[in-house]
Amino acid sequence: MKDKGFIVHIAGIVAMIFWGMSFVWSTQVYESLNPTATIFLRLVVATVFFTAILFIFRLNEKVRAKHLGLFALAAMFEPFLYFIFEGYGLKNTSPVIGAGIIAMIPLVTPIAARIFLKERLTPMNIVGFIISFIGVIVMLLNKNLEFIASPLGILFLSSAVLVAVGYSIALMRLTKLYKPMTITWVQNIIGMLYFIPMVIIMERFEPSKFANVGDYIVPLVCLGVFCSAIAYALWAFAFSRLGASRANVYSNLIPVFTAIFSYFIIHESLTTNKIIGILTVVVGLVLSQLKTKKAATE
């Protein structure tokens, strides 16, 4: 990992900080807007921001027509399906629980890599999966061993995990063809187009409080600029240099950052179950990723 450069690891950590904070910002915006409207506006902000940066500094890169299908597939996974599942999952759970479930992404990735990329699934991958799964269950139970999260929320968030794994596979191919900023810019544009029909349909039945822009404008802009633009570009950069397994290990930090931000910003309580659950998820994921990295060098 040393030959990859220190900046690569900084990029991965900063991306996780922004994504950890995204659970808090999303919860704040959801007090005024529904997830569909939130995600669409978030992508609009990200697209405007990235378009300005790319053309002002002349960093734009020509996208070849034969690769548009791959971009469309990647954008279908993220931001379209992933944000829908994550958005409605957070609508039915807390930021910390949501981050804990999403943190299983780097654990499931090796399983998908085994199926689609024919990579070896080691015993430690299986051990890590079991430990992390136990950690998630602990997070979802109260002291009386009763579920504290909505089953619907868990279903949505679990679906987000599967979609994110599909995105990782598509992203692996894109990083070999284009620069991280180009990938992020194009996928946000396509994702925004995907969401237009959704916004029209959903807002027809659930009108959002667009007029009260002062209630959500700051967290919405933060979601667009920091989470949908900068974080995705940093992630694509780290992904292109480290590969799927080693890059995904940074996702372990998301529930940690989310728990800290939620405690200080929206005053979400950190129960013993949540703390133990988060630590267990992280331990399982780290064990799995450490073994994966070792195997990759053999």
First-last CA distance in the chain: 15
Secondary structure (H, E, C), 84-119: HHHHHHHHCCCHHHHHHHHCCHHHHHHHHHHHHCCC
Note down the domain range covering 167. Answer: 2-297
What is the pLDDT confidence band of residue 200, given thresholds at 50, 70 and 90?
Answer: confident
- Is residue 124 within 8 A of residue 285, CB to CB? The reply is no
DSSP codes, 242-267: HHHHHHHGGGGGHHHHHHHHHHHHS-
Stretch 222-247: mean pLDDT: 86
Other Cβ atoms within 10 Å of 173 Cβ, number? 12
What is the C-alpha separation between 38 and 88, in angstroms, rounded? 11
Which residue has 């002349």 as its token pair?
A: 58
Residue 3 confidence (pLDDT) above 50: no
Query: Residue 12: in which H helix or E strand, if any?
Result: helix 6-29
More confident residue, 99 or 162: 162
Nearest CA-CA partner of 220 in 14, 87, 28: 28
CA–CA distance, 258 with 96 (Å, rounded to integer): 6
User: For residue 66, how many other CB atoms are within 10 A of its CB?
Assistant: 7
Q: Which of 224, 189, 186, 208 is nearest to 41 (CA)?
A: 224
Query: What pLDDT, on the 0 to 100 scale, is given for residue 297?
Result: 44
| Inter-CA distances, 47 with 54, 144, 195, 259, Å | 10, 46, 13, 29
Number of other residues whose CB lies within 10 A of the CB of residue 10: 12
Q: Is the pLDDT of residue 293 over 50?
A: no
pTM comes to 0.78
Q: Helix 95-102 and helix 254-265: axis angle, to 10°?
A: 170
The predicted-structure confidence for 57-72, as pLDDT tens digits, reads as follows: 888 889 999 999 999 9
Percent of the chain beyond pLDDT 90? 29
pLDDT number for residue 123: 77
Q: Summarize pLDDT for 163-181 with one digit per residue, the tens.
A: 988 888 888 889 889 998 8
Nearest Cα neighbor of 165 from 93, 87, 238, 103 is: 103
Six-digit token string for 4: 């990859």
Asked if 191 and 50 count as a contact pair (C-beta separation under 8 A), the reply is no
Residue 160 has pLDDT above 80, yes or no: yes
- Environment class of residue 269 by beta-carbon count within 10 Å: exposed (0-12), middle (13-18) or buried (19+)? exposed
How many helices (H) and strands (E) the chain has is answered by: 13, 0
How high is the mean pLDDT of the chain?
A: 82
Domain count, the chain: 1
Average pLDDT over residues 85-104: 81
Give 262: exposed, middle or buried? Use CB within 10 Å, 0-12, 13-18, 19+.
Answer: buried
